[in-house]
């Protein structure tokens, strides 16, 4: 096969990139390790920055998002058990955020890719990236037992945190920054009506979060020790712990029910610099990981794809490679801003096993300052809904 841009990974980043490139008249092939159903079966993020909503609409997949997404003008934060503060980002920034599950984003992306006739190769194994420092890079893989090779002008590494593309950058040329958090998130889905708002809770037992997927599908999380497994958490234990960590006025609104999905995810911050090497460009989780507290993972992937597709468009459409040469520097500005925000929200809202009483008081001072200062609220609001691209 021969194409202009060979994309590794058909998650949100790789699929959105192939769609936007197609609309700009740029040919691509997407190589995905898993099956389509496996990718669609992943339960991941649920919040879109307004910037992401605009990018997805421009990519032609805004119809269901606008019909089924739930706009939120604010989020709540509870602390000291009963205190509740509200960050009214619509009033403070003029932008809302949109609750819309990543599963739906992926479904919409695959439907659009099908309509546009984009070639996504599912079930590829032994994927390898070759010769990215030459003018003729390529990708080799095995599909249905047959060895395949895709010759291309450029490679986009959109293969997530466990992919192969990041490893293509020689270790002596890359810098890696990482923090692992000493706790995980236990998340459940339940076919119950969600609360009418998102609320993040900082409680002495640990963090909790109430979110949603649709009017009859709720998404809840509680912080749990890293060594816990889902077997340690019956539904009853989950609901009583979630109820305990929420203010009583909020807990009384909770509609509980059997979990239809339950999983524990570790929390990690990670960035690799640079996000490009030769003719290979990284986008999404392949280049960075954020703890979900700031709801930035999916949004960063979308922003990377925005910058990278703009760069390819300038190159192929106008012969100008300035944006391609500067992609990593451009993308990393937003990456680091979101990585910091996600780290800050995680430290603010969680209980660290070895934290000191002084550190807890500093967190409570941050929350007290957020409660009384519109300037502090505006700072959180503009980062939560997404800084301008």
Catalytic residues: 72, 200, 292, 296, 384
Q: Are 105 and 284 in contact (CB under 8 A)?
A: no
Q: Determine how β-strand 175-190 pairs with β-strand 217-224.
A: antiparallel
Question: Helices 102-115 & 12-23, crossing angle to 10 degrees?
Answer: 40
Q: Which of 157, 247, 292, 386 is the binder for ligand PHB (CB under 6 A)?
A: 292
284 belongs to the binding site for ligand APR (CB under 6 A) = yes
For 80, the token pair is: 């000291």
Only one of the segments 71-79, 111-119, 160-168, 219-227 lies at the binding site for ligand APR (rule: CB under 6 A); that segment is: 160-168
Task: Decide which of ligand APR, ligand PHB, none touches 72; Cβ closer than 5 to 8 Å per partner kind.
Answer: none
For 389, the token pair is: 């691209």
124 belongs to the binding site for ligand APR (CB under 6 A) = yes
Of 44 and 91, which has the nearer Cβ to ligand APR?
A: 44
211 belongs to the binding site for ligand PHB (CB under 6 A) = yes
20 belongs to the binding site for ligand APR (CB under 6 A) = no
Task: Decide which of ligand PHB, ligand APR, none touches 75; Cβ closer than 5 to 8 Å per partner kind.
Answer: none
Only one of the segments 38-46, 188-196, 204-212, 336-344 lies at the binding site for ligand APR (rule: CB under 6 A); that segment is: 38-46
187 belongs to the binding site for ligand APR (CB under 6 A) = no
47 belongs to the binding site for ligand PHB (CB under 6 A) = yes
Q: Which of 28, 52, 106, 293 is the binder for ligand PHB (CB under 6 A)?
A: 293
Strand partners, 47: 99
Task: Decide which of ligand PHB, ligand APR, none touches 219; Cβ closer than 5 to 8 Å per partner kind.
Answer: ligand PHB
Write down the least CB distance from residue 2 to ligand PHB, Å: 40
Q: Are 4 and 24 in contact (CB under 8 A)?
A: no
Residues 212-231 that bind ligand PHB (CB under 6 A): 219
Q: Determine how β-strand 75-79 pairs with β-strand 199-203.
A: parallel
Q: Which of 20, 45, 65, 77 is the binder for ligand APR (CB under 6 A)?
A: 45
Write down the least CB distance from residue 194 to ligand PHB, Å: 9
Q: Which of 10, 65, 188, 331 is the binder for ligand APR (CB under 6 A)?
A: 10
Task: Decide which of ligand PHB, ligand APR, none touches 168; Cβ closer than 5 to 8 Å per partner kind.
Answer: none
Of 194 and 284, which has the nearer Cβ to ligand APR?
A: 284
For 344, the token pair is: 């800050």
Residue 290 to residue 280: CA distance in whole angstroms:
22
Cβ burial, residue 63 (10 Å; 0-12/13-18/19+)? exposed
Residue 213 to residue 191: CA distance in whole angstroms:
10
46 belongs to the binding site for ligand PHB (CB under 6 A) = yes
What is the torsional sign of CA 250, 355, 381, 384? negative
Residue found by looking up tokens 């009853």 in the block: 236
Residue 159 to residue 325: CA distance in whole angstroms:
21
Look at phi and psi of residue 144 and say left if phi exceeds 0, alpha if psi is from -120 to 50, else beta: left
Quote the distance between the C-alpha of residue 330 and its chain's center.
18
Question: CB neighbours of 231 closer than 8 A, spacing ≥ 6?
Answer: none
Other Cβ atoms less than 10 A from the Cβ of 183: the count is 21
Of 157 and 292, which has the nearer Cβ to ligand PHB?
A: 292
Which residues contact ligand APR by CB under 6 A? 8-14, 31-34, 39, 44-45, 102, 124, 127, 158-160, 162-164, 284-285, 297-298, 301
Q: In the complex, which residues of this chain contact ligand PHB (CB under 6 A)?
A: 45-47, 209, 211, 219, 292-293, 295
């Amino acid at each position: 096969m021969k194409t202009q841009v060979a994309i590794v990974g058909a998650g949100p980043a790789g699929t959105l990139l192939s769609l936007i490139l197609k609309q700009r008249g740029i040919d691509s092939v997407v190589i995905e390790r898993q099956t389509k159903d496996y990718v669609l079966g992943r339960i991941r993020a649920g919040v879109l920055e307004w910037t992401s909503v605009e990018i997805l609409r421009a990519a032609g997949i805004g119809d269901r998002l606008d019909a089924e997404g739930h706009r939120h003008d604010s989020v709540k934060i509870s602390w000291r058990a009963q205190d509740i503060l509200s960050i009214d980002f619509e009033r403070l920034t003029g932008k809302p955020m949109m609750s819309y599950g990543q599963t739906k984003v992926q479904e919409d992306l695959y439907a659009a890719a099908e309509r546009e006739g984009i070639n996504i190769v599912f079930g590829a194994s032994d994927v390898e990236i070759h010769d990215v420092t030459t003018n003729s890079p390529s990708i080799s893989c095995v599909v249905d037992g047959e060895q395949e090779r895709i010759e291309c002008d450029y490679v986009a590494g959109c293969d997530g945190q466990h992919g192969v593309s990041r490893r293509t950058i020689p270790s002596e040329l890359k810098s890696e920054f990482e923090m692992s958090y000493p706790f995980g998130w236990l998340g459940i889905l339940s076919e119950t009506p969600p609360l009418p708002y998102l609320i993040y809770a900082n409680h002495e037992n640990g963090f909790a979060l109430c979110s949603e997927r649709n009017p009859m599908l709720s998404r809840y999380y509680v912080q749990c020790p890293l060594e816990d497994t889902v077997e340690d958490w019956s539904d009853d234990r989950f609901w009583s712990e979630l109820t305990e960590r929420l203010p009583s006025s909020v807990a009384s609104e909770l509609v509980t029910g059997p979990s239809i999905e339950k999983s524990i995810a570790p929390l990690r911050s990670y960035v690799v610099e640079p996000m490009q090497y030769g003719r290979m460009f990284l986008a999404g989780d392949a280049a960075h990981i954020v703890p979900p507290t700031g709801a930035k993972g999916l949004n960063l992937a979308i922003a990377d794809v925005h910058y990278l597709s703009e760069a390819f468009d300038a190159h192929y459409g106008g012969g100008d490679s300035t944006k391609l040469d500067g992609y990593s520097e451009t993308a990393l500005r937003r990456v680091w801003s979101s990585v910091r925000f996600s780290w800050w929200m995680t430290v603010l809202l969680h209980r660290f096993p070895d934290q000191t009483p002084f550190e807890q008081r500093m967190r409570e001072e941050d929350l007290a300052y957020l409660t009384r200062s519109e300037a502090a609220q505006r700072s959180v609001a503009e980062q939560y809904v997404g800084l301008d691209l």
